[in-house]
Structure 1
């Protein structure tokens, strides 16, 4: 990789098309199959040893006829699937195993292939059979590992079976923290249900205002805010599956009031809830478990870590003034677009956008206060390659697929390890490679060690001195919260908020 010239201190389905001229994901997979490789192969990740409870769960999971317990354990070990819970079905080997008993399986399998998958990824192998058995799950897997299809496929199968039996009303609610992620889920869902006769909808602001007739819907995708507003006018008593994508974000303080209303509106006693995320801190997991019945936790790879398919490095820029110089040098060195640049606030996002635009860079910016139509237009231009560099806040750090993004730049140092994992996860998706560059200055020293540890756990080489830095102190954490480039976290009230407080205690 090129070094910076800075001293180092040792809205349509068409929007899913490729940004530039990269080979489509499905074609890449066919090439891998022809060469004898796994179509979903990715760079190996460094994993922690399987715990005793996980080994026990693996050995006692009943496999189908012809597959011994040792075979099941070997398959999990091969794909680095860790499970915790009881009565866990074995992972599936291929998509045919999932669909072959369904009358509509040929069309569904064709749709799965259209979504870019020829064989299941590790998280899909284990999550799909669990959800088909109506088990509640906590699933943690790296960014870009196929989590969306892991919950969409079993839900589509169950919704189709329910529709065939004549059951009316919404059968599944899929919840994402941002409009962009919800829209992306809806696009993948539209491709998956094509020709199956299922009625799916992305809940819009207009739909909430007009009062959508949910008795005519099978699967609804929405943000918590829109669902909480819709719950005032509609009943979700028919919902059988409630899925939370980017679960750790949805259980954050900013969403708890809305989440309370969504959960309370889903009154079906047969409802099954599922949580999916790339990161799941222990306190958040404890809160999630309080909402679930005998959940199974599925972890792929090392928990709360960045994907090893991303080459990560830290670059010392000295001070705030050095950031723009470093970014200019990086662009001048020939770094290929498209590039995502992360800042810690809307104000800094707008300022950097202006600076780069004045220098003739094909740049735009996106932040939470923009109107939905404006945000969608920016995303579309970026996907189409009309924008080479997109400056953004952490709004764009979760779940959004820009398959051809080759470089992520953390212009502002991430405020948490979770933020770092999700930012870095915008590149190196679906088996592709990418690079992530994080600028740091002297005042970031207190947070440097935790990011260096994350990088090391992903197989990156980091200077020994970074790993030996003192841990953050309470004073340093408070200074981080008080910095101008940090973001506020609004406080909310509600039952989930009360549970968060009990968990913290």
Structure 2
């Protein structure tokens, strides 16, 4: 009963409230409108607050997703041992895990000049897919299953047109890391006519005057590089769109072969060339690549400097790559000496004079001859293109660093620049700041690697006592079955390479020799026979110590101890390439103790076992002098009796030549006297 009466009272009060509200509405209609508007405003505000909360949550979730992606990419790089100097670079391209992940660069549509009224976006995508399909097809034919760590980061970085400083161990696929982007960028330059400087770089109103002038200058450079503005799109004769530089002709020839292989089937065909003396005139005249120009030009520095002096232009270059950058940027390397053939002839004359004065000599070099050898060591690993340029001027005496300065001055400032090497020294690091612009610094450092040393190589030091013991050790390796071809043997000079070739020639080994003193044809034939398997043992100087890829090499023998850790790393890097295992044996004598500690340190950092006494050796001479190879006795096992016999035979031949000259001059005098009578 109480509950029912309470309900009745509540209904009556509610009815009275409704009547009162109706009266208020009847007497004050304007106030009602204002109240309703306030309620509407409150509703709008409430809905906006709710939407703002939802947007904030959405933005927060997107930030979390981006952060997760960044952390996942960082974890992936760590797993692949990819080290990037600036980890917090907001524009750092993501590494790829497979070649299929190569995607169209962000600038591809923008620089083509996207227009919503035309289907240029689809055209650009199809153009990119065409070159990508051709490259991936060639990669599959070459049995590249997945990119190597250096390729994972370098390919997307260069495709985004970022300058790059890359350091990776020998045999890690550095060539493919820059050849693939070079082919794609040259294709973009030829088909899409992109500007080298993005079109949205117009100076803002709030920019300073210096920034405006700088951006305007970049825009002018961009306009001058844009083929659609500089010349007809149907005639691009003389253009060079990609430039690859190597320190030796052997390495340059290898890069050229890889360019042709990976560029096979490219839309419009691949147009690449290895710059040589025979075709330099056509390249300078702009007729080498036809109307479409050259996609890729591969060359050595001095050959290109010679062409620049004769009028070659590099205005259209979009990407320039320095392979073995530490060598190309070495201020003490690449010095031009006398011609190798003349040098070899003079050396033979000196040897004949020495033997004529001392026929029973045991083959040890005099101090003067040893000094000549030391001076000629710098020439041993130089290419003939870098020895005898046919141009006149100071370029004949330039170092590699001076040559690179001339080349980079001729390349547009907006071109992509990349430095690759297995050993990046502090000097190269400092020079890169003046060569590269806001570069991506990438280092591939696998566990236990030291200065670019390949951890797939088993390294061994072998003490042989004296120089005579080296040849004996080589023959013992053969008898024990430990000499497993193909083998590369490194020596310190041309003369020693030729002498060792003569000693091993009759030991039942298919042996050949390559050094800068041989002709270009002979060197090419030696490399070709070694690649085919016709040659089992290749004796060489440091000419092929850098970059040259012999994938099936099982063993490297350092017959002469290298004078630096960098040279050692590049020498042993000729084996154990592309994931294969290899073995490196280094022979040393007591004369090598000054340089032994450096090699032992590299081996220890690579995880190899090294005797403690080697690490505790002290250099007895200054570092500047220890960098030169020690004086060594000649490689000659000929008995003294045979030496004397050979000497007497040579003397008899020389005496007979002198007699013929005297008799010839005597008969000539007789004829002249008879004619006078």
What's the TM-score once normalised by structure 1's chain length?
0.80
Q: 1:283 aligns to what? A: 427
Please name the residue that 1:256 is paired with: 401
Q: Take 2:101 and 2:65, find their aligned partners in 1: how far apart are those partners?
A: 11
CA contact (8 A) 1:63 1:69 kept: no
Which has the higher relative contact order, 1 or 2, with Cα contacts under 8 A spaced 6 or more apart? 1
1:114 and 2:115 correspond: no
Instruction: After superposing the two structures, state which structure 1 stretch, 98-107 or 293-302, moved more.
Output: 98-107
Contact 1:348 / 1:485 at 8 angstroms: preserved in 2?
no
Indicate conservation of the 8 Å contact 2:186/2:242, yes or no: yes
Task: Encode CA deviations 1:62-100: one digit per residue, 9 max, x unaligned.
Answer: 999796111111111101011113332221121111147
- Cα distance in 1 for residues equivalent to 2:555 and 2:632: 22
1:288, distance to aligned residue in structure 2 (A): 2.8
Residue 451 in 1 paired to residue 478 in 2?
no
Name the structure 1 match of 2:71.
70
CA contact (8 A) 2:501 2:539 kept: yes
1:96 aligns with 2:100: yes
What are the equivalent positions in structure 2 for 1:75-474 lying under 5 Å apart?
Answer: 75-85=76-86, 86=89, 87-99=91-103, 102-104=128-130, 105-166=132-193, 167=227, 168=236, 169-196=239-266, 197-210=269-282, 211=284, 213=286, 216-232=293-309, 233-252=311-330, 253=332, 254=334, 255-266=400-411, 268-301=412-445, 302=449, 304-334=451-481, 335-470=483-618, 472=619, 474=621
SS in 1 for 2:279: helix
Partner of 2:111: none
Compared with structure 1, are the counterparts of its residues 291 and 374 closer, same or farther at alpha carbon in structure 2 (3 Å cutoff)?
same
Which SS does the other structure have where 1:229 is aligned? helix
Q: Map Cα deviations across residues 446-499 of structure 1 (whole Å, 9 max, x no partner).
A: 2222211211222212222222333x355365155263369xxxxxxxxxxxxx
CA distance in 2, matches of 1:66, 1:371: 59
The CA distance in 1 between the partners of 2:590 and 2:489, in whole Å, is 20
Query: CA separation in 2, counterparts of 1:376 and 1:81?
Result: 36
Change (3 A) 1:393 1:482: closer
Q: CA RMSD in A?
A: 2.2
Instruction: Determine the C-alpha separation between the residues in 2 that align with 1:134 and 1:221.
Output: 20
Give yes or no for the alignment of 1:475 onto 2:479: no
What is the aligned partner in structure 1 of residue 351 from structure 2? none
| 1:260–1:278 distance in 2 versus 1, CA, 3 Å | same
Alpha carbons 1:305, 1:454 under 8 Å: kept: no
Q: Provide Cα deviations, 1:20-50, integer angstroms capped at 9, x if missing partner.
A: xxxxxxxxxxxxxxxxxxxxxxxxxxxxxxx
Task: Name the count of aligned residue pairs.
Answer: 423
Q: Deviations over 1:206-254 (max 9, x none)?
A: 1114445266212111111221112122100111111000111111231
Q: Is the 8 A contact 2:150 2:173 kept in 1?
A: yes
Distance 2:540 2:285 in 1: 32
Q: Which has the larger radius of gyration?
A: 2
Change (3 A) 1:263 1:377: same
2:591–2:630 contact (8 Å) kept in structure 1 = no
Q: For the Cα contact (< 8 Å) 1:99–1:109, is it kept in 2?
A: no
Return the alpha-carbon distance in structure 2 between the equivalents of residues 462 and 235 of structure 1.
52
- Between Structure 1 and Structure 2, the one with more helix by share is 2
SS in 2 for 1:430: coil
CA distance in 2, matches of 1:479, 1:200: 43
Contact kept? 2:562, 2:629, Cα under 8 Å: no
1:116 match: secondary structure? coil
Q: In structure 2, do the counterparts of structure 1 residues 454 and 118 end up closer, same or farther at CA, with 3 Å as the change threshold?
A: same
Q: Which runs of 4+ in 1 moved over 4 A?
A: 62-67
Query: Structure 1 stretch 207-216 or stretch 311-320: which is displaced more?
Result: 207-216
2-structure distance, mates of 1:143, 1:407: 15
- Give the stretch that moved more between structures: 164-173 or 71-80: 164-173
> Helix, strand or coil: the match of 2:240?
coil
Distance (whole Å) between structure 2 residues aligned to residue 298 and residue 275 of structure 1: 10
Aligned to 1:96, what secondary structure does the other structure show? helix
Q: Which one is further off, 171-180 or 252-261?
A: 252-261
The aligned counterpart of 1:56 is: none
Normalising by structure 2, we get a TM-score of 0.60
The structural deviation recorded for 1:204 is 1.9
